[in-house]
Amino acid sequence: MPPPEGDSASAQAGNNSSDFVRKLYKMLEDPTYNSVVRWSADGDSFVVLENEKFTKTILPKHFKHSNFASFVRQLNKYDFHKVRHNEESGEAPYGRDAWEFRHPEFRADRKDNLDNIRRKAPAPRKPAQADDAFGASQQIVVLSESLTATQHQIQALQEQYFELAQTNKVLVNEVISLQKMVRAQSQVSNELITHLSNIEDRRRNSRHSAHSSHSSHSGPTFHAGSLGQLPDGADEPAAELRRAREILNGVSPDSQADRELERLSVAYHQNGSPSDSATSSVMFTQGGPGPMHMLHDPLNDPRHMVYPVGQTTGIDPFHSDHINNIPYTRPLSNPNPMADSAQITPPPKDQGTSMWSHKRPRILLVEDDKTCARIGAKFLHVLECSVDIAKDGLEAVEKINNPENNESFDLIFMDIIMPNLDGVSATAMIRMVTARVPIIAMTSNIRQEDIQTYFQYGMNDVLAKPFTKDSMIRVLRKHLAYMLKDPLQGGLNSDDTGQTVGAPGPPGQNQQAYSNNQQAQANMMAAAAAMANSSMGSGAQVKFEQTPIPSPTTTSSWHSPGQMNQTSPNMDGGGYMNAGGGGPGGMVLTPGGTQRPPPQPYQMMNNQVNSQLAGGSAGFQGGGHMQASEGMGMGGGSEENRPEKRQRLYGPGANQGPFVQ
Amino acid sequence: MHSHYDDDMEDQDIMPALNFEEHVDNGIFEQILEMDDDDKREFSKSLVTNFFDQAEETFVKIEEVLNNNKVDDAKRLETLSSLGHFLKGSSATLGFNKIRDSCQIIQQYGHKLNVDGSAEPNEQVCLDKIKGALETARNDKDELAYKMFNKIDGFFKPHDE
């Protein structure tokens, strides 16, 4: 495939072949550009005098990009040629840095002639240009030769296509099985959180009855008194649990993409399961091929042998829609994360080295709230990113449209609700200019339908507010993996990553520490599930959502293999379990990690957990869940609505002691 | 007392014990503290200071809207909701949970919703709830500001004494 060449190039790949030339002519008509770009004296060529100025100011105006090389390529496509001057003989009429281009039909005085300047034919067509001098039979010979050549070409293309289709099949299978693992993992996490917070809930209740005098009026005396106390370990996991829950919530798959993937996967399975897809998804391919329908085998499918459809029908299933919905471009280079994560030891907490390879990412932070913007910017500075702040969507769009900034941001964090121009609209506008830069929604509004809207308008991911340094790291690693110094061993802060995730994180994993880790755990879980559920042999058809919710006992036994597998000293393993065991101060401090003294209890947790239980299914629960954690849900009907639980959240719940007055 | 506690800690990098009780999510707040370049806490201190200013300004605005009977209730609620949302973002980012919760209540009733998401069609009820939440938020803010800045053992003071 040819490399992409910027917006104008692709926009012009269509029929209006002289559009480019017209733009070019129009540009040259503007006398104010004279010092930068103008017609030559004879009017039979044009000269770019000041390359840099031209690239930065004129190109964006007329061609919507600022890439001089792309401009030159475009010119070449239309058969313009650079006029070469012999510089050694001092013959450089417009200066050494000037670029002069000429096309025999492109003249200042022949505006009417522009239509005669066309894009060069992409492939050599010489054999088709039958010379009149040949006789009819010779023409036939030439034609049949060219036909043979074309057929060879098609054959080659089909083979290539077949290879690609195979690769895609593997990838789709891979993604499907990864999704299942992630889902399994998040169900497991949910169960764990539920279990732990039930225990914690019970304990807190007993504590609160003991601490009834512990009220919200707490003067300095009370303070001084309690200052020296170790924060009570029993209060610790709530905030962690909440964060874990939020993260689980944030990992919300795009259901449309899921459906497409499912469709592809079904199609592929009907076509037989390739052995090579078993590399890292043993669990899900061992079921073997389903019924054999020759749906997609390009070499055998007669449709593909009919010229000229062969090439295009094969690509169809990978319509850009689908490709865009497979968001992770980096292939899993580590097919066996289980083995790896078992060997990895936590890196020392040495933050002296940069996590980025050569260039530090340049981030645009769009946030109307000063406090959030300052904190976000500070986090990003600490992560060695350079940060530009826009205070609303309008300013963000202006910054992107400014040719000096165009394409130079590596990632955009975008608040949603802002004055002047909201984040979603701003994203839509930015997407008209640049398709590539990852745009991350920063919002507390992470209901499923909201997220879908964000994605629809071109956002790539969601960072739940209040964001933390860890969650920012996670986003950066995921979307700027190509900028990491060592994507496979990105040691810096990966302990933090583990913590954000709220799942055991093998530190020292790559930017996919998160997903690999999930996969590793999910593998374990899947294995456990497979043992428990023998009906699961049939390839990709396993439905974890339908697994009945295990009792707490089951849950903890599920956890143990994962826990043994993970060498990560993460609090999730040790801390949670200990806390669950009821020992005060049960927190396990991460060696060299960023474990903190236990935070305050977080009353929302119980509520979330309860609604999770009520919901019954695993993973994200869309609106219902969010309603619990954010209180933002609009359609309260779907959610269980027990007032006594709600009171926990905001009311002066009787057993909540010091909470909201 | 403070230093005695610190001496007992194995890891001196660990933050001093935070004692804001349910006002603050320590985990979140510590992330902010970690951003300080030294123990003078310039960054976090100015953040918190700015936040309190911002909070007070927002409270005043909310009060103005509440007292402005000339505008119709629906419009006022809309404004109140966005004011609540605004302050919710920064309080949540700092981990100031009590204030955040009050902001959430203001935002919700501004949308004519109860905190559980069910509809509250009575606009007067919504305005009253917002009034109550504003009161709570102000008290919490004062209490927290005291914990942060009082001259005896305020969080941002002890090192200077």
Q: What is the CATH number of domain B42-149?
A: 1.20.120.160
Write the residue in A369, A379, A600 that is nearest to B21 by C-beta: A600
pLDDT in tens, A248-270: 776 665 666 677 777 777 766 66
Write the residue in A216, A223, A631 that is nearest to B115 by C-beta: A631
pLDDT reading at A545 higher than 60: no
Write the residue in A223, A635, A641 that is nearest to B19 by C-beta: A223
| Three-state secondary-structure class, residue A538 | coil
The pLDDT of residue B130 is 93
Tell me the C-alpha distance between A448 and A616, whole Å: 17
Tell me the C-alpha distance between A319 and A325, whole Å: 10
Cβ-contact A40, A46 below 8 angstroms: yes
Tell me the C-alpha distance between A494 and A348, whole Å: 11
A523 vs A108, higher pLDDT: A108
Say yes or no for a CB contact (<8 Å) between A597 and B150.
Answer: no
Write the residue in B5, B34, B82 that is nearest to A228 by C-beta: B5
Give B42→chain A minimum CA distance, Å.
13
Cβ-contact A575, A241 below 8 angstroms: no
pLDDT in tens, B89-132: 889 888 898 999 999 999 999 999 988 888 888 988 999 999 99
CA atoms lying within 13 Å on the CB side of residue A100: 18
Give A595→chain B minimum CA distance, Å.
8
Give A237→chain B minimum CA distance, Å.
10
The pLDDT of residue A573 is 36
| Three-state secondary-structure class, residue A412 | strand
Say yes or no for a CB contact (<8 Å) between A650 and B14.
Answer: no
The pLDDT of residue A477 is 87
Tell me the C-alpha distance between A492 and A348, whole Å: 9
Say yes or no for a CB contact (<8 Å) between B21 and A658.
Answer: yes
pLDDT reading at A332 higher than 60: no
Exposure class string for B75-114: b at 16+ Cβ within 10 A, else e = ebbebbbebbbbbbbbbbbbbbbbbbbbbbbbbbbbbbbb
Contacts within 8 Å (CB) and 24+ apart, A648-654: A648/A603, A648/A604, A648/A606, A648/A607, A649/A603, A649/A604, A649/A607, A649/B101, A649/B115, A649/B116, A650/B101, A650/B104, A650/B105, A650/B115, A653/A603
Helix (H) or strand (E) holding A345: none
Say yes or no for a CB contact (<8 Å) between A229 and B104.
Answer: no
Contacts of A229 in chain B (CB under 8 A): 17
Say yes or no for a CB contact (<8 Å) between A417 and B82.
Answer: yes
Contacts of A602 in chain B (CB under 8 A): 25, 97
Taking the CA atoms of A494, A496, A500 and A503 in sequence, report the sign of the dihedral they define.
Answer: positive
Contacts of B43 in chain A (CB under 8 A): 378
The pLDDT of residue B152 is 79
Taking the CA atoms of A191, A197, A199 and A201 in sequence, report the sign of the dihedral they define.
Answer: negative
pLDDT in tens, A553-610: 433 334 433 334 443 343 333 333 333 333 343 343 334 333 344 444 434 444 444 4
Tell me the C-alpha distance between A552 and A581, whole Å: 13
pLDDT in tens, A315-331: 333 344 434 443 333 33
Write the residue in A227, A630, A646 that is nearest to B153 by C-beta: A227
pLDDT reading at A620 higher than 60: no
Say yes or no for a CB contact (<8 Å) between B97 and A632.
Answer: no
Residue partners of A170: CB distance under 8 A and separation at least 6:
A274, A276, A277, A279
| Three-state secondary-structure class, residue B65 | helix
Contacts of B138 in chain A (CB under 8 A): none
Tell me the C-alpha distance between A375 and A380, whole Å: 9
Say yes or no for a CB contact (<8 Å) between B116 and A224.
Answer: no
Contacts of B142 in chain A (CB under 8 A): none
Say yes or no for a CB contact (<8 Å) between A660 and B19.
Answer: no
The size of the A-B interface in CB pairs under 8 A is 166
pLDDT reading at B46 higher than 50: yes
- Tell me the CA end-to-end span of chain B in Å, nearest whole number: 13
- Tell me the CA end-to-end span of chain A in Å, nearest whole number: 65
0.95 surpassed by complex ipTM: no
Q: Give strand pairing partners of B46.
A: none
**Could you tell me what percent of chain A has a pLDDT over 70?**
47
Q: Which two tokens stand for residue A425?
A: 């609209």
Q: What are phi and psi of A387, to 5 degrees?
A: -125, 135
Tell me the C-alpha distance between A165 and A163, whole Å: 5
Q: Which two tokens stand for residue B127?
A: 């305005």
**Bond into A335 cis (ω within 30):** no
Search chain A and give the residue with CA nearest B132.
Answer: A661
The pLDDT of residue B80 is 92
If you average pLDDT over residues B132-151, what whole number do you get?
A: 89
Contacts of B118 in chain A (CB under 8 A): 636, 641
User: What are the helix (H) ranges across A386-447?
Assistant: 393-401, 423-433
Give B6→chain A minimum CA distance, Å.
9
Give the count of beta carbons closer than 10 Å to the beta carbon of residue A90: 8
Give A628→chain B minimum CA distance, Å.
8
Please give the single-letter amino acid code of residue A294.
M
Tell me the C-alpha distance between B58 and B55, whole Å: 5
pLDDT reading at A653 higher than 80: no
Specify the residue for token string 């802060």: A493
Say yes or no for a CB contact (<8 Å) between B26 and A231.
Answer: yes
Write the residue in B34, B47, B95 that is nearest to A374 by C-beta: B47
CA atoms lying within 13 Å on the CB side of residue A298: 23
Give A90→chain B minimum CA distance, Å.
58
The pLDDT of residue A642 is 40
- The DSSP symbol for A43 reads S
Contacts of B101 in chain A (CB under 8 A): 649-650, 660
- The DSSP symbol for A231 reads P
pLDDT confidence bin for A516, thresholds 50/70/90: very low
Taking the CA atoms of A434, A435, A440 and A446 in sequence, report the sign of the dihedral they define.
Answer: positive
Helix (H) or strand (E) holding A93: none
If you average pLDDT over residues A597-625, what whole number do you get?
A: 40
Write the residue in A228, A630, A660 that is nearest to B4 by C-beta: A228
Q: Which two tokens stand for residue B21?
A: 């009780």
Contacts of A227 in chain B (CB under 8 A): 1-2, 5, 17, 19, 153
Say yes or no for a CB contact (<8 Å) between A596 and B5.
Answer: no
A351 vs B19, higher pLDDT: B19
Q: Which two tokens stand for residue A535?
A: 């009906």
Instruction: Specify the range with the lowest mean pLDDT, choosing from A356-365, A620-629, B19-28.
Output: A620-629
The pLDDT of residue A274 is 43
Give A508→chain B minimum CA distance, Å.
21
pLDDT confidence bin for A134, thresholds 50/70/90: low
Taking the CA atoms of A437, A442, A445 and A446 in sequence, report the sign of the dihedral they define.
Answer: positive
Longest dimension (CA), chain A: 110
pLDDT confidence bin for A518, thresholds 50/70/90: very low
Residue partners of A129: CB distance under 8 A and separation at least 6:
none
Contacts of B18 in chain A (CB under 8 A): 231, 597
CA distances from A463 to A414, A446, A472 (A): 9, 9, 7
The pLDDT of residue A509 is 37
Distance of CA A104 to the CA centre of its chain: 47
CA distances from A203 to A38, A235, A601, A659, B31 (A): 80, 9, 12, 17, 27
Tell me the C-alpha distance between A353 and A534, whole Å: 48
Write the residue in A369, A469, A634 that is nearest to B90 by C-beta: A369
The pLDDT of residue A270 is 60
Helix (H) or strand (E) holding A4: none
pLDDT reading at A123 higher than 80: no
Please give the single-letter amino acid code of residue A640.
E
Q: Which two tokens stand for residue A80?
A: 């313009």
- The DSSP symbol for A83 reads P
Distance of CA A228 to the CA centre of its chain: 45
The pLDDT of residue A66 is 84
Search chain B and give the residue with CA nearest A660.
Answer: B98
DSSP string, B72-136: -HHHHHHHHHHHHHHHHHHHHHHTBHHHHHHHHHHHHHHTTB-TTS-B---HHHHHHHHHHHHHH
pLDDT reading at A41 higher than 90: no
The pLDDT of residue A591 is 40
Say yes or no for a CB contact (<8 Å) between B28 and A468.
Answer: yes
3-state per-residue secondary structure call for A363-397: EEEECCCHHHHHHHHHHHHHCCCEEEEECCHHHHH
The pLDDT of residue A87 is 56
pLDDT in tens, A392-448: 888 988 888 877 765 578 899 999 888 888 888 899 888 888 888 899 998 877 777
Cβ-contact A65, A433 below 8 angstroms: no
Give A239→chain B minimum CA distance, Å.
7
**Which of A501-515, A640-654, B138-152 reaches the highest mean pLDDT?**
B138-152
Say yes or no for a CB contact (<8 Å) between A371 and B90.
Answer: yes
pLDDT reading at B156 higher than 70: yes
- Mutation target among B4, B31, B51, B135 for the A interface, most CBs of A within 10 A: B31
CA distances from A43 to A28, A50, A100, B6, B18 (A): 11, 18, 12, 81, 76
Say yes or no for a CB contact (<8 Å) between A599 and B11.
Answer: no
If you average pLDDT over residues B1-6, what whole number do you get?
A: 44
- The DSSP symbol for A621 reads -
Strands A45-48 and A461-464: unpaired
- The DSSP symbol for A351 reads -
Tell me the C-alpha distance between A501 and A516, whole Å: 12
Q: Which two tokens stand for residue A247?
A: 């993260």
Tell me the C-alpha distance between A280 and A17, whole Å: 47
A317 backbone φψ class: left, alpha, beta (φ>0; ψ -120 to 50): alpha
pLDDT in tens, A503-514: 333 343 333 333
User: Nearest-CA neighbor of B156 among B20, B9, B5, B14?
Assistant: B20
pLDDT in tens, A291-314: 344 444 444 444 444 333 333 333
Tell me the C-alpha distance between A82 and A100, whole Å: 6
